[in-house]
């Protein structure tokens, strides 16, 4: 379902209909791009996607929703950069009404009785993709209705997602759960029926919105579980490193085939067990990353910590290059990565960030010079 060939990925960017996107994106069959696995793995950037779309001649005002959604990604990432590990706990306030630090078993087993959700979770296990609205419904069922703290179910979702991006993930879960927003998000059966084209009644969500305020945790969500999430790490290659050449470090968040393209360098896909122990991902997710690595000539896989790599192959720091990312605890030359806008730092609300950032859209020429 998800190609891993770079040319096909570029073609997929060009296939996006950024105008109809705005009106349809909330529907389960809406015109969404499915580009997130490539943005998350650092194969393409939000800036590249924005530029390629604007180059097709659209007026930014006509594709505002599309540009805003791309900007959400940068917004969450910038919070990760700014706040670091703080995003791993309740960011702005304690999640209200926490009942447990596990998650409802019926979510993991795709057995909530809500057809649209159960079908989407089944498909999720097969494809590694979930529609944004369904992600919100699932998070609402776990946290806002089921009283689970956001962290365990967020890790379960991140584990299976091909587009796992801990910033978008943790911070969206916290947004739904109310620890990174002023109120919790809920959706009732009518809402699910509308956006998923079902006509189900008599489920635990078949209530008017006012009923959520006094709703007890439904029995069906009371059976809890903590999924056992372990990353099946691949084997290292027999590395062939020439210490006279620069060494470029790729990883789960940087699989960019155009980075220093054509340069004679050692190219190492670094898989650090410590990172995957803290942020576990599924076998499919690891395979997806390895398949994307086929776009990078002579990429060699090293499974081990950065310092071991450096010491084992006597690498000099001045010859090591990597792209900036909050998970990279490396030494060497850090390269900046591309952002859509020059606006940086922590903004408590997306719209404060966007209102500043969007001004740059009126001068796209300067913005994209040299991009």
Ligand X SMILES: Cc1cc2nc3c(=O)[nH]c(=O)nc-3n(C[C@H](O)[C@H](O)[C@H](O)COP(=O)(O)OP(=O)(O)OC[C@H]3O[C@@H](n4cnc5c(N)ncnc54)[C@H](O)[C@@H]3O)c2cc1C
Provide the 3-class DSSP secondary structure of residue 302: strand
- Of 163 and 320, the one with the shorter C-beta distance to ligand X is 163
Q: Which residues, including other chains, have CB under 8 Å from residue 105's CB and lie 6 or more apart?
A: 111, 223, 224, 225
Per residue, the 3-state secondary structure of 213-279, as one string, reads HHCCCCHHHCCEECCCCCCCCCCCCCCCCCCCCCEEEEECCECCCCCCCCCCCEEEEEECHHHHHHC
* Among 9, 13, 32, 271, contact with ligand X (rule: CB under 6 A): 32
Range 114-143, binding ligand X (CB under 6 A): 132, 135-136, 139
Q: Which two tokens stand for residue 324?
A: 């900036």
- Rounded to whole angstroms, the Cα distance separating 129 from 133 reads 12
Q: How far is the CB of 365 from ligand X (least distance, A)?
A: 24
Question: Which of 6, 124, 159, 173 forms a contact with ligand X (CB under 6 A)?
Answer: 173
For 303, residues 6+ apart whose C-beta sits below 8 A from its C-beta are 233, 234, 235, 236, 271, 273
Distance of closest approach, residue 158 Cβ to ligand X, in angstroms: 5
Q: Indicate the SS3 state at residue 322.
A: strand
Minimum CB distance to ligand X smaller for 137 or for 322: 137
**Strand 224-225, strand 247-250: pairing:** unpaired
Length of the chain: 371
The residue (of 74 and 306) whose beta carbon lies closer to ligand X is: 74
Decide if residue 169 touches ligand X (CB under 6 A): yes
Q: Which is nearer to ligand X, 71 or 315 (CB)?
A: 71
Told to check if 104 binds ligand X by CB under 6 A, we report: no
41 binds ligand X per the rule CB under 6 A: no
Q: Which is nearer to ligand X, 40 or 328 (CB)?
A: 40
Between the CA of residue 181 and those of 94, 160, 230, what are the distances in Å? Answer: 10, 25, 30
CB of 338 to ligand X, least distance (A): 13
The mark string for 174-203 relative to ligand X (x by CB under 6 A, - otherwise) is --x---------------------------
Q: Give the range of 90-98, 158-166, 204-212, 266-274 binding ligand X by CB under 6 A.
A: 158-166
Q: How far is the CB of 168 from ligand X (least distance, A)?
A: 4
In the complex with ligand X, the residue whose CB is nearer, 313 or 350, is 350
Structure tokens at 238: 């027999």
Tell whether residue 165 is a contact of ligand X (CB under 6 A): yes
| 172 counts as binding ligand X under rule CB under 6 A | yes
Give the other-Cβ count within 10 Å of 94's Cβ: 11
Backbone dihedral region for residue 304 (phi beyond 0: left; psi -120 to 50: alpha; all else: beta): left
Contact 234, 271 (CB under 8 A): yes
Minimum distance of ligand X from residue 163's CB (angstroms):
4
Please report whether residue 81 would count as binding ligand X according to CB under 6 A.
no
Q: Which stretch binds ligand X (CB under 6 A): 70-78, 199-207, 217-225, 348-356?
A: 70-78
By CB under 6 A, is residue 35 in contact with ligand X? yes
- Which region among 92-100, 169-177, 233-241, 310-318 touches ligand X (by CB under 6 A)? 169-177
Nearest in space to 296 (alpha carbons), one of 325, 333, 270, 335 = 270
Q: Which of 27, 58, 72, 313 binds ligand X (CB under 6 A)?
A: 72
Interacting residues with ligand X (CB under 6 A): 25, 32-36, 39-40, 69-70, 72-73, 76, 132, 135-136, 139, 157-158, 161, 163-165, 168-169, 172-173, 176
């Amino acid at each position: 379902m998800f190609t891993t060939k770079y040319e096909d990925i570029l073609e997929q960017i060009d296939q996006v209909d950024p105008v109809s996107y705005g009106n349809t994106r909330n529907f389960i069959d809406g015109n969404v791009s499915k580009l997130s696995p490539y943005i998350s793995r650092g194969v393409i950037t939000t800036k590249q996607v924005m530029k390629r779309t604007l180059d097709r001649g659209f007026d930014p005002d006509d594709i505002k929703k599309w540009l805003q959604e791309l900007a959400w990604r940068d917004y969450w990432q910038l919070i990760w950069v700014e706040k670091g590990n703080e995003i791993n706990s309740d960011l702005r306030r304690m999640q209200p009404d926490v009942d447990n630090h596990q998650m409802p078993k019926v979510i993991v087993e795709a057995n909530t009785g809500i057809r649209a959700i159960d079908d989407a979770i089944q498909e999720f296990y097969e494809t590694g993709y979930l529609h944004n609205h369904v992600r919100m419904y699932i998070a609402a069922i776990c946290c806002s209705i089921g009283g689970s703290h956001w962290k365990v179910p967020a890790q379960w979702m991140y584990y299976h997602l091909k587009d796992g991006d801990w910033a978008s993930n943790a911070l969206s879960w916290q947004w739904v759960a109310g620890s990174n927003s002023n109120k919790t998000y809920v959706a009732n059966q009518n809402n699910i029926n509308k956006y998923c084209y079902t006509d189900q009644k008599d489920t635990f969500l078949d209530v008017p919105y006012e009923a959520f305020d006094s709703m007890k945790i439904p029995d069906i969500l009371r059976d809890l579980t903590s999924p056992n999430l372990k990353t099946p790490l691949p084997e290292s290659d027999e590395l062939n490193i020439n210490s006279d050449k620069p060494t470029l470090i790729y990883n789960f968040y940087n699989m960019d085939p155009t980075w220093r393209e054509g340069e004679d360098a050692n190219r190492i896909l670094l898989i650090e067990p410590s990172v995957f122990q803290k942020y576990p991902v599924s076998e499919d997710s690891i395979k997806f990353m390895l398949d994307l690595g086929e776009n990078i000539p002579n990429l060699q896989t090293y499974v081990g910590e950065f310092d071991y790599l450096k010491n084992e192959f006597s690498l000099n720091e001045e010859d090591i290059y990597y792209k900036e990312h909050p998970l990279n605890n490396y030494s060497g030359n850090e390269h900046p990565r591309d952002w859509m806008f020059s606006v940086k730092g922590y903004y408590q609300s997306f719209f404060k960030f966007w209102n500043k950032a969007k001004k740059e859209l009126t001068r796209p020429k300067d913005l994209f010079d040299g991009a």
